[in-house]
Amino acid sequence: MRRGADGGLETAFLSLSVAAGQISHYTHGGYNGRVPGYTKDKQKIETRLRRIEGQVRGIQKMVEEDRYCIDVLTQVNATRAALESVALQLLADHTEHCVTEAIRSGGGKAKVRELNDAVERLVRS
Amino acid sequence: MRRGADGGLETAFLSLSVAAGQISHYTHGGYNGRVPGYTKDKQKIETRLRRIEGQVRGIQKMVEEDRYCIDVLTQVNATRAALESVALQLLADHTEHCVTEAIRSGGGKAKVRELNDAVERLVRS
Amino acid sequence: MRRGADGGLETAFLSLSVAAGQISHYTHGGYNGRVPGYTKDKQKIETRLRRIEGQVRGIQKMVEEDRYCIDVLTQVNATRAALESVALQLLADHTEHCVTEAIRSGGGKAKVRELNDAVERLVRS
Amino acid sequence: MRRGADGGLETAFLSLSVAAGQISHYTHGGYNGRVPGYTKDKQKIETRLRRIEGQVRGIQKMVEEDRYCIDVLTQVNATRAALESVALQLLADHTEHCVTEAIRSGGGKAKVRELNDAVERLVRS
């Protein structure tokens, strides 16, 4: 879903999504029709996620083939590390864009609280 | 090591390792025909990994649909937690079977060192 | 910056930075006389740190008394969790105050980058 | 079990448990007079813990002096990492000694379960 400088398309899209019902709003923190914070890194993130999907399938194959526990574990850890990198990328982009813009436009209190909760979940998960 | 239609070869190999007797546990990173520690939980682990693969695909879809950063992050964290559970299961099974058997058969020093390294990587990854 | 008996110098410095006005937030890693983000929670954090110091001394005593490994480990984990809470508190306060103020006063790019680095170190440590 | 001035009682107890022979490993959470798994690393662990105590006091001083949030956080992370190393040392020693001996003396099932629980808490804390 591209969102360019093209305001008309933007409006059309928003109307459409309001009509469609299902893409109706972001949760906690509010949705305002803006692109998400990770937009500029979208392709990079998608590539990483496809690679992670491949890693998970690779682990399934290892288990199916009764591969050695420690070798499977090594692959699971590598996949966890890759997911952690995606999480950090998403959070950094979110802070740099969504949170920064919310603060700049005079608010940001709820956004900051939401960010802090997200950091806590990330650290504790 | 594939386990395919060549059941004969597999059976022969297993017989050999049973006959050899003392070649009864995995060497560091190696495979010697014995079942891995997670054998009794194999189906459960495979089910979990398939679900994790589905979660990763779900995250890809969310990113493709420009879903809100924090919502994507929540799914990434859930997937990391699911992978962590698989890692803990693999490690527990490994300790309960591979490490225990290695110690019982008179050795286990290398196995214990390998286990400790795996725990360290798991804690630090 | 030491805050010792030389209260006069300190007061002078603080007045100066209030007068200077625009030197109103911390630079990367620096200190410029403004209160840090955790000021409102300072007492709570100090109390927690004293308790953590007590926990560490308790662990020392357990080791000295040759207490059971797993019992010592349980205390080490509890202390790590307490330190993690302090870290999350510091980070939340920092985001809510220092980062927010930096963005509000028109900048914040370096602050956001510094915050993202801190989150990454926290998640990976 | 206190190890105070009553060294005689302690010695007597140790002799008794050596004499008893088969009561040769810790029960779940208990202590029975055998040395803990970390005995050979005791001095190293005590040195580390004293250094960690010093780090915690250093953090208290930083907070008292209103030092910059990120600088305090960096010290908190360093202290968490130091505690994590102690935890990994304790766990490795425990596996190498207590768990190994329990398995060698014909049992070890409860010990392995307890170890797996400890690894899980360590990974999740």
Summarize pLDDT for A53-95 with one digit per residue, the tens. Answer: 999 999 999 999 999 999 999 999 999 999 999 999 999 999 9
Beta-carbon separation of B100 and D104 below 8 A = no
The beta strands (E) that lie in chain D are given as none
Beta-carbon separation of B122 and D124 below 8 A = no
Of residues C117, D113, A47, D35, the one with CA closest to residue B59: A47
Per-residue confidence (pLDDT) for residue A32, from 0 to 100: 53
Considering only the beta carbons, identify the residue of D88, D96, D113 that sits closest to B120.
D88
Per-residue confidence (pLDDT) for residue D34, from 0 to 100: 72
Instruction: Calculate how close chain D gets to C104, using CA atoms only, in Å.
Output: 19
Same domain, C44 and C65: yes
Return the residue of B nearest to D125 by Cα: B123
Q: Give the total number of structural domains in chain B.
A: 2
Which of C26, C38, C45, C63 to probe by mutation at the D interface, max D CB count within 10 Å?
Answer: C63
Q: State whether residue C5 is helix, strand or coil.
A: coil
Confidence of residue B73 (pLDDT cuts 50, 70, 90): very high
Distance, in Å, from the CA atom of A7 to the CA atom of D69, rounded to the nearest integer, reads: 41
Per-residue confidence (pLDDT) for residue D11, from 0 to 100: 30
Instruction: Calculate how close chain A gets to C65, using CA atoms only, in Å.
Output: 32
Q: Which amino acid is at B13?
A: F
Chains that touch D (3 or more CB pairs under 8 A): B, C
Instruction: Tell me: pLDDT of A113 over 90.
Output: yes
Same domain, C42 and C92: yes
Beta-carbon separation of D119 and B84 below 8 A = no
Same domain, C58 and C113: yes
Per-residue confidence (pLDDT) for residue C72, from 0 to 100: 98
Domain that holds residue D57: 37-124
Residue with the bigger pLDDT between C27 and B40: it is B40
Per-residue confidence (pLDDT) for residue D107, from 0 to 100: 86
Beta-carbon separation of C116 and A103 below 8 A = no
Q: Are the C-beta atoms of residues D3 and C65 closer than 8 Å to each other? A: yes
**What is residue A27's DSSP assignment?**
S
Confidence of residue C115 (pLDDT cuts 50, 70, 90): very high
Same domain, B68 and B88: yes
Beta-carbon separation of D53 and C49 below 8 A = no
Chain B residues touching residue A77 (CB < 8 angstroms) = 87, 121-122, 125
Same domain, C12 and C70: no
Instruction: Tell me: pLDDT of C1 over 80.
Output: no
**Percent of chain B clearing pLDDT 90 (strictly above):** 69
Q: What is the DSSP string of C7-28?
A: HHHHHHHHHHHHHH-S--S--T
Same domain, D68 and D30: no
Same domain, C8 and C50: no
**What is residue A39's DSSP assignment?**
G
CATH of the domain at B109: 1.20.58.1000
Summarize pLDDT for A43-53 with one digit per residue, the tens. Answer: 999 999 999 99
Per-residue confidence (pLDDT) for residue C2, from 0 to 100: 35
Same domain, B116 and B76: yes
Kindly give the parts of chain D with pLDDT less than 50.
Answer: 1-33
Q: Are the C-beta atoms of residues A8 and A14 closer than 8 Å to each other? A: no
Based on the number of CB atoms within 10 Å of its own CB, is D71 exposed (0-12), middle (13-18) or buried (19 or more)?
Answer: middle
Q: Are the C-beta atoms of residues C35 and D71 closer than 8 Å to each other? A: no
Q: Which amino acid is at D9?
A: L
Same domain, B57 and B46: yes
Beta-carbon separation of C68 and D93 below 8 A = no
Of residues A56, A65, A77, A52, the one with CA closest to residue B90: A77
Summarize pLDDT for C71-97 with one digit per residue, the tens. Answer: 999 999 999 999 999 999 999 999 999
Q: Are the C-beta atoms of residues B116 and B94 closer than 8 Å to each other? A: no
Distance, in Å, from the CA atom of B109 to the CA atom of B96, rounded to the nearest integer, reads: 15
Q: Are the C-beta atoms of residues B59 and A49 closer than 8 Å to each other? A: yes
Beta-carbon separation of A73 and B36 below 8 A = no
Same domain, D53 and D98: yes
Q: State whether residue A98 is helix, strand or coil.
A: helix
Q: Measure the CA dihedral D102/D108/D112/D118, to 10°.
A: -50
Considering only the beta carbons, identify the residue of C88, C112, C113 that sits closest to A120.
C88
User: Rounded to two decimals, what is the model's pTM?
Assistant: 0.78
Same domain, D59 and D120: yes
Which single residue is written with the structure tokens 């992670």?
A52
Return the residue of C nearest to A117 by Cα: C92
Distance, in Å, from the CA atom of A94 to the CA atom of A86, rounded to the nearest integer, reads: 12
Which single residue is written with the structure tokens 């225990």?
B100
Per-residue confidence (pLDDT) for residue C74, from 0 to 100: 97
Mean pLDDT taken over chain A = 81
Confidence of residue C107 (pLDDT cuts 50, 70, 90): confident
Based on the number of CB atoms within 10 Å of its own CB, is C72 exposed (0-12), middle (13-18) or buried (19 or more)?
Answer: buried
Instruction: Tell me: pLDDT of B25 over 50.
Output: no
Distance, in Å, from the CA atom of A70 to the CA atom of A76, rounded to the nearest integer, reads: 10
Determine which helix (DSSP H) or strand (DSSP E) holds A76, and give its type and residue range. helix A69-94
Chain D residues touching residue B91 (CB < 8 angstroms) = 116, 119
Q: What is the DSSP string of chain B?
A: ---SS-HHHHHHHHHHHHHH-S--S--TT---SSPPTTGGGHHHHHHHHHHHHHHHHHHHHHHHTT--HHHHHHHHHHHHHHHHHHHHHHHHHHIIIIIHHHHHTT--HHHHHHHHHHHHHHHH-
Same domain, D46 and D85: yes
What are B2's two structure tokens?
Answer: 């594939």
Instruction: Calculate how close chain B gets to A89, using CA atoms only, in Å.
Output: 10
Q: State whether residue A41 is helix, strand or coil.
A: helix
Q: State whether residue C84 is helix, strand or coil.
A: helix
Average of per-residue pLDDT across B80-109: 96
Chains that touch C (3 or more CB pairs under 8 A): A, D
Chains that touch B (3 or more CB pairs under 8 A): A, D
Q: Are the C-beta atoms of residues D73 and C91 closer than 8 Å to each other? A: yes
Chain A residues touching residue B53 (CB < 8 angstroms) = 53, 56-57, 60
Of residues B105, B122, B87, B110, the one with CA closest to residue B24: B105
The beta strands (E) that lie in chain A are given as none
Distance, in Å, from the CA atom of B76 to the CA atom of D43, rounded to the nearest integer, reads: 42
Confidence of residue C39 (pLDDT cuts 50, 70, 90): very high
Beta-carbon separation of C42 and D30 below 8 A = no
φ, ψ (nearest 5 deg) of residue C115: -60, -45
Distance, in Å, from the CA atom of C96 to the CA atom of A117, rounded to the nearest integer, reads: 12
Q: Which amino acid is at A8?
A: G
Instruction: Calculate how close chain D gets to B112, using CA atoms only, in Å.
Output: 6
**Residue A84: other Cβ atoms inside 10 A:** 19
Distance, in Å, from the CA atom of D121 to the CA atom of D125, rounded to the nearest integer, reads: 6
Average of per-residue pLDDT across B67-92: 98
Per-residue confidence (pLDDT) for residue C125, from 0 to 100: 84
